[in-house]
Structure 1
Amino acid sequence: MNNKICPVCSSTNLEDCFPDYSGTCIASNFKTVENASLKIKICTECGLIFNSKGIRAEGSNFYLKEKFKPRAALTFFNKSKKVSRTELNFKKLNELVDLNTKRSLLELGAGKGDFLKYFCSKINDWEINALEPNMGQRDLLSINEISKVYQTPYNELDLLPKKFDLIISFSVIEHVNNPLDFLQWQAKHLAEGGTIFIEVPNFSMIPGDFFCIDHLTKMTKYSLENLAIRAGLTIENIVEDKVPLYAALKKDPTKKINTNPYAQNLKIINKNTEICSSFFDSFTDMYLKKNSESKYAIFGCSTLGRMTPKYCNVPLSDIACYIDEDSSHQEKDVFGIPIYNRSAIKKLGITDVFIAVSPLYIDAVIAKLSEENVNLHYPKLS
Structure 2
Amino acid sequence: MRAMALCRVCGSTLGEPAYQAAAPALTSIMTALNSDTVVHVCERCSHAQCPNMPDIQTFYDTTYRISLEADDHDQLFALAADGRPLYRTDHQAAISLRMLELPPGALILDYGAAKSDTLRKLVEHRPDIIPHVFDVSRDYVFAWQDWVRAEHQATYTIDPSWHGRFDAVMSHFAIEHVAEPIAFLAQIRAVLKPGGRLLISLPDVHANPGDMIVVDHLNHFTDPSIRHALKATGFTVNEINRADFPGAFFVSATAREGNLAGPEDGVAAATAQNREICRFWKKAYASLTQTRDRMAGQRCTIYGAGFYGSWIAQQLSGAMDVVAFLDQNPKLHESQHMGIPVRHPAELDETVDTIFIGLNPLKARAIMASVSFPTHRDLNLVWLD
Fold-level match, TM-score > 0.5?
Answer: yes
Find the aligned partners of 1:372 and 1:110 in 2 and give their Cα distance.
41
Residues 302-344 of structure 1 show CA distances to partners (whole Å, capped at 9, x for unaligned) of 2222112434x65255222221112343334343232222133
- Once the two structures are TM-superposed, the CA of residue 96 in structure 1 deviates from its matched residue by 1.8
Alignment of 1:95 with 2:91, yes or no, is no
Q: Does the aligned pair in 1 maintain the 2:85–2:329 contact within 8 Å?
A: no
Stretches of structure 2 lacking an aligned partner (at least 5 in a row): 68-72
- Once the two structures are TM-superposed, the CA of residue 7 in structure 1 deviates from its matched residue by 2.7
- For 2:185, which of 183, 186, 190 is the aligned residue? 183
Residues 63-105 of structure 1 show CA distances to partners (whole Å, capped at 9, x for unaligned) of 111x431134201115434221111111111222212366110
Find the aligned partners of 1:194 and 1:270 in 2 and give their Cα distance.
36
Alignment of 1:195 with 2:197, yes or no, is yes
Q: Does the aligned pair in 1 maintain the 2:301–2:356 contact within 8 Å?
A: yes
Determine the structure 2 residue equivalent to 1:69. 65
Partner of 2:131, secondary structure, is strand
- Once the two structures are TM-superposed, the CA of residue 26 in structure 1 deviates from its matched residue by 2.3
Determine the structure 2 residue equivalent to 1:224. 226
- Once the two structures are TM-superposed, the CA of residue 228 in structure 1 deviates from its matched residue by 1.1
Residues 261-296 of structure 1 show CA distances to partners (whole Å, capped at 9, x for unaligned) of 64233222233234434544553454355388x531
Partner of 2:270, secondary structure, is helix
Determine the structure 2 residue equivalent to 1:214. 216
Q: Does the aligned pair in 2 maintain the 1:200–1:244 contact within 8 Å?
A: yes
Residues 12-41 of structure 1 show CA distances to partners (whole Å, capped at 9, x for unaligned) of 3333112x12322222222332x2221111
Determine the structure 2 residue equivalent to 1:23. 23
Q: Does the aligned pair in 2 maintain the 1:226–1:261 contact within 8 Å?
A: no
- Once the two structures are TM-superposed, the CA of residue 180 in structure 1 deviates from its matched residue by 1.4
- For 1:268, which of 258, 273, 286 is the aligned residue? 273
Q: Does the aligned pair in 2 maintain the 1:211–1:303 contact within 8 Å?
A: no
Q: Does the aligned pair in 2 maintain the 1:286–1:377 contact within 8 Å?
A: no
Residues 337-365 of structure 1 show CA distances to partners (whole Å, capped at 9, x for unaligned) of 3222213314x522111112013431233
Q: Does the aligned pair in 2 maintain the 1:297–1:353 contact within 8 Å?
A: yes
- Once the two structures are TM-superposed, the CA of residue 204 in structure 1 deviates from its matched residue by 1.0
Find the aligned partners of 1:284 and 1:22 in 2 and give their Cα distance.
14
Alignment: residue pair count: 371
Q: Does the aligned pair in 2 maintain the 1:332–1:339 contact within 8 Å?
A: yes
Q: Does the aligned pair in 2 maintain the 1:43–1:49 contact within 8 Å?
A: yes
Find the aligned partners of 2:150 and 2:329 in 1 and give their Cα distance.
30
User: Amino acid of the residue matched to residue 66 of structure 2?
Assistant: P
Partner of 2:8, secondary structure, is coil
- For 1:323, which of 323, 326, 348 is the aligned residue? 326
- Once the two structures are TM-superposed, the CA of residue 8 in structure 1 deviates from its matched residue by 3.1
Q: Does the aligned pair in 2 maintain the 1:299–1:305 contact within 8 Å?
A: yes
- Once the two structures are TM-superposed, the CA of residue 377 in structure 1 deviates from its matched residue by 2.2
CA spacing shift, 1:13–1:161, aligned 2, 3 Å: closer
- Once the two structures are TM-superposed, the CA of residue 152 in structure 1 deviates from its matched residue by 1.1
Using the aligned pairs only, state the percent identity: 18
RMSD (Å), alpha carbons: 2.7
Determine the structure 1 residue equivalent to 2:57. 60
- Once the two structures are TM-superposed, the CA of residue 250 in structure 1 deviates from its matched residue by 0.7
Find the aligned partners of 1:15 and 1:163 in 2 and give their Cα distance.
43
User: Amino acid of the residue matched to residue 362 of structure 1?
Assistant: A
Find the aligned partners of 1:266 and 1:161 in 2 and give their Cα distance.
36
User: Amino acid of the residue matched to residue 43 of structure 1?
Assistant: C
Stretches of structure 1 lacking an aligned partner (at least 5 in a row): none
Determine the structure 2 residue equivalent to 1:115. 118
Alignment of 1:244 with 2:241, yes or no, is no
Q: Does the aligned pair in 2 maintain the 1:204–1:268 contact within 8 Å?
A: yes
Determine the structure 1 residue equivalent to 2:43. 44
Determine the structure 1 residue equivalent to 2:4. 3
Find the aligned partners of 1:42 and 1:173 in 2 and give their Cα distance.
17
Residues 145-177 of structure 1 show CA distances to partners (whole Å, capped at 9, x for unaligned) of 6751101146xx534544200100110000111
CA spacing shift, 1:276–1:153, aligned 2, 3 Å: farther
- Correspondence 1:335-374 to 2 at 5 A: 335-346=338-349, 349-369=351-371, 371-373=373-375, 374=378
What's the TM-score once normalised by structure 1's chain length?
0.87
Residues 118-138 of structure 1 show CA distances to partners (whole Å, capped at 9, x for unaligned) of 122111222211002221122
Q: Does the aligned pair in 1 maintain the 2:173–2:201 contact within 8 Å?
A: yes
Find the aligned partners of 1:380 and 1:70 in 2 and give their Cα distance.
27
User: Amino acid of the residue matched to residue 251 of structure 2?
Assistant: A
Determine the structure 1 residue equivalent to 2:70. none
